[in-house]
Amino acid sequence: HARAWVEFDKTAQPNGATWNAMFRGYAQAKCHLDVVVLFARMHRAGASLNCFTFPMVVKSCATANAAKEGRQVHCVVAKRGFKSNTFVGGVFVADAYKVFAEMRDKNVFAWTAVVAAHVACHDMVSARRLFDLAPQCDVVLWNVIVSGYIELGDMVAARELFDRMPDCDVMSWNTVLSGYANNGEVELFVKVFEEMPARNVYSWNGLIGGYVRNGLFKEALECFKRMLVLVEGEGKEGSDGVVVPNDYTVVAVLSACSRLGDLEIGKWVHVYADSIGYKGNLFVGNALIDMYAKCGVIEKALDVFDGLDPCHAWHAADALSLFEGMKRAGERPDGVTFVGILSACTHMGLVRNGFLHFQSMVDDYLIVPQIEHYGCMVDLLGRAGLINQAVDIVRKMPMEPDVMYKNVEMAELALQRLIELEPNNPGNFVMLSNIYKDLGRSQDVARLKVAMRDTGFRKVPGCSVIGCNDSVVEFYSLDERHPETDSIYRALQGLTILLRSHGYVPNLVDVAHAN
């Protein structure tokens, strides 16, 4: 072990595999407490954790009876998004099951928790076995097992159990409703909605979202109107069971608008969303940006974008005023301080300020800029659209060119993390694949292609939508599917020539700003 530590310490930047090898060594030697200690060190060092790390560490926590540490590891797992990973989750289920098995009085809560744990790692066989064994069973436990089958797409088993429920609540109905919606059973989810004895906002959102998911955008809008009529009628009738749309509803409706290219209703929904308090809501904002952008109204899309998430800028402003206070107090900033200051400038787009601070760092504080300072400056210029200046900085950097490969490694690491967090988002695969392609790593490109195919999801390419003669036309980049492609491109070319002749130059810097 001493040898291992010596070798380990020589490794300047141990990667995930190196750490995992250390864990394996200690675990095989039954030094479980060392694993726990090493994990703490690894975590403090900010090392790259991966899904292979946690099963070993958790097992060691369990074997070493380190409950407190086990809980901390659990927190890290949850924070890093490894909770739903089959292997990591499996360890926790085994753990939870151990706790569960040792409990003297198992009540319905414990039974539900342990069934839910098996459902969470898609082990429906064990979940069902436990469910059948449970001495008491309330509506919540029923809902858990039903939603388990739904997540696996087994609507037959789900429906069979649902029909056997002694009493079911709104959540049970909603679960089945969205189950049919997600599995493409249009007639059935509509039928469930009509049959339900009571409805809440989840039910309505399930119906509207179900229509959108299955491409029935007009129906989604009709349903939204129906919902609004009920809300309006509430004042006069005072009827109960009336539900008010929420942000989820708005997002689904906007999504329908953008797919239909229906700018008019989209604008109306924008005003409505603002009026019920969703101005600045991130989900609603993104749906609005998407809708305006797909309908070709870039200015409005940018307006919405500018109204979103000002908190970065606020924190950045705080950072800069703190820095002034620090200087007034006679405290001496170091290289790390300036990393914070420069990235604050980046967040606020303060190019000039960033340069002044960079100069001041060198001239007033005699700090030699490190790679991270140059990185900040490149980021600052890049985000401001000043690509040439950014490249210039890179050229003049006194570092070895091989340092630049680190950025590719960073991007690779970040994307691998994103894929772990959002395995179903094909965009992450595409981005990583493009990086590999640029580097000529064709084997990795092929490997990703297979991995992406295995997820069953496909990247949806960006497109524009135009409502035309009561129908909708979608356009993709270089799209040639339309029967009148030739005349469309001729018209486009004519327009381009006309624009250029009037001195129009495409303003790509503004687009860069929007990112």
Does 141 participate in binding DNA (rule CB under 7 A)? Answer: yes
Does 139 participate in binding DNA (rule CB under 7 A)? Answer: yes
Dist. CA 52–CA 432, nearest whole Å: 21
Q: Which stretch binds DNA (CB under 7 A): 3-11, 94-102, 165-173, 367-375?
A: 165-173
Minimum distance between the CB of residue 81 and DNA, rounded to whole angstroms?
A: 13
Do residues 52 and 77 lie in contact, with contact meaning Cβ atoms separated by under 8 Å?
Answer: no
Match 């800028």 to its residue by tokens. Answer: 313
Q: Which stretch binds DNA (CB under 7 A): 282-290, 349-357, 376-384, 442-450?
A: 282-290
Minimum distance between the CB of residue 98 and DNA, rounded to whole angstroms?
A: 17
Query: Of 63, 72, 183, 246, which one interacts with DNA (CB under 7 A)?
Result: 246
Do residues 432 and 412 lie in contact, with contact meaning Cβ atoms separated by under 8 Å?
Answer: yes
User: Within positions 252 to 271, which residues make up the interface with DNA, using CB under 7 A?
Assistant: 255, 258
> Contacts by 467-470 with C-beta closer than 8 Å and gap 24+?
467/260, 467/261, 467/262, 467/263
Minimum distance between the CB of residue 330 and DNA, rounded to whole angstroms?
A: 44
Q: Which two tokens stand for residue 59?
A: 């097992």
| Cα within 13 Å of Cα(346), Cβ side | 20
Minimum distance between the CB of residue 138 and DNA, rounded to whole angstroms?
A: 6
Q: Pick the closer one to DNA by CB: 48 or 246.
A: 246
Does 290 participate in binding DNA (rule CB under 7 A)? Answer: yes
Q: Which two tokens stand for residue 73?
A: 């590891």
Query: Of 20, 60, 85, 174, which one interacts with DNA (CB under 7 A)?
Result: 174
Minimum distance between the CB of residue 30 and DNA, rounded to whole angstroms?
A: 34
User: Within positions 461 to 480, which residues make up the interface with DNA, using CB under 7 A?
Assistant: 462
User: Within positions 100 to 119, which residues make up the interface with DNA, using CB under 7 A?
Assistant: 107-110, 112-113, 116
Q: Which stretch binds DNA (CB under 7 A): 170-178, 229-237, 339-347, 360-368?
A: 170-178
Q: Which stretch binds DNA (CB under 7 A): 227-235, 251-259, 366-374, 442-450?
A: 251-259
SS (H, E, C) 266-298: HHHHHHHHHHCCCCCCHHHHHHHHHHHHHCCCH
Sequence letter at residue 106:
K
Match 């409706």 to its residue by tokens. Answer: 253
Does 201 participate in binding DNA (rule CB under 7 A)? Answer: yes
Q: Pick the closer one to DNA by CB: 283 or 476.
A: 283
Does 134 participate in binding DNA (rule CB under 7 A)? Answer: no
Beta bridge partners of 465: 474
Do residues 495 and 487 lie in contact, with contact meaning Cβ atoms separated by under 8 Å?
Answer: no
Nearest alpha carbon to residue 51 among 98, 84, 18, 25: 84
Q: Pick the closer one to DNA by CB: 247 or 420.
A: 247
Does 185 participate in binding DNA (rule CB under 7 A)? Answer: no
Query: Of 49, 144, 221, 377, which one interacts with DNA (CB under 7 A)?
Result: 144
Query: Of 200, 353, 434, 464, which one interacts with DNA (CB under 7 A)?
Result: 200
Does 178 participate in binding DNA (rule CB under 7 A)? Answer: yes
Buried b (16+ CB within 10 A) or exposed e, 255-291: bbbbbbbbbebbbebbebbeeeebeebeebbebbbbb
Minimum distance between the CB of residue 80 and DNA, rounded to whole angstroms?
A: 17
Dist. CA 167–CA 468, nearest whole Å: 50
Query: Of 85, 205, 214, 337, which one interacts with DNA (CB under 7 A)?
Result: 205
* Helix-strand-coil split of the chain, %, nearest 5: 70, 0, 25
Query: Of 53, 60, 175, 346, which one interacts with DNA (CB under 7 A)?
Result: 175
Does 418 participate in binding DNA (rule CB under 7 A)? Answer: no
**What is the DSSP track for 195-216?**
H-S---HHHHHHHHHHHHHTT-
Q: Which stretch binds DNA (CB under 7 A): 139-147, 154-162, 360-368, 472-480?
A: 139-147
461: alpha, beta or left, given left = phi > 0 and alpha = psi -120 to 50? beta
**What is the DSSP track for 223-278?**
HHHHHHHHHHHHHHH--SS-----HHHHHHHHHHHHHHT-HHHHHHHHHHHHHTT-
Binders of DNA: how many residues, by CB under 7 A? 44
Q: Pick the closer one to DNA by CB: 43 or 106.
A: 106
Q: Which stretch binds DNA (CB under 7 A): 17-25, 132-140, 329-337, 392-400?
A: 132-140
Dist. CA 175–CA 147, nearest whole Å: 6
SS3 468: strand
| Chain residues in the site for DNA (CB under 7 A) | 107-110, 112-113, 116, 138-141, 143-144, 147, 169-172, 174-175, 178-179, 182, 200-202, 205, 209, 246-248, 250-251, 255, 258, 282-284, 286-287, 290, 422, 425, 462
